[in-house]
Amino acid sequence: GENVEQHPSTLSVQEGDSAVIKCTYSDSASNYFPWYKQELGKRPQLIIDIRSNVGEKKDQRIAVTLNKTAKHFSLHITETQPEDSAVYFCASVGNTPLVFGKGTRLSVIA
């Protein structure tokens, strides 16, 4: 079945700096890659997603890139703010239901 690896597990950045979270997947049939943000005590919420027919997608300060050949995708957050602090999960969908990475705890230090 699908296996999603996510790195790093924790990440601390200064406010205003960029943050990058990387994920790899194993199932070449995977074709949908959402990213979820979970703030403390709250539900995971979709922040951006990308499908396999595109290589990059951007939404304001958030961007996701996908390299299907290498089977990896990344989340980029620019100009980080304290409210970006949360746990971020990557996920992939192919022939199996949504499979999540282990999460990255991002701390933005003011």
Partner 1 sequence: EAGVTQFPSHSVIEKGQTVTLRCDPISGHDNLYWYRRVMGKEIKFLLHFVKESKQDESGMPNNRFLAERTGGTYSTLKVQPAELEDSGVYFCASSRRTGGSRTPLHFGNGTRLTVT
Q: Chain centroid to CA 28: how far?
A: 18
CB nearer partner 1, residue 62 or residue 98: 98
CB nearer partner 1, residue 36 or residue 80: 36
Considering only residues 12, 15, 39, 102, which one is a binding residue for partner 1 as defined by CB under 8 A?
102
3-state SS, residue 26: coil
Tokens 């999960």, located at residue: 89
State the Rg of the chain over Cα.
13
Measured distance CA(26)–CA(38) in Å, rounded? 24
Question: Residue 36, interface with partner 1 (CB under 8 A)?
Answer: yes
Q: How far is the CB of 13 from partner 1 (least distance, A)?
A: 21
Binding site for partner 1 (CB under 8 A): 4, 6, 31-32, 34, 36, 42-46, 49, 51, 89, 93, 96-103
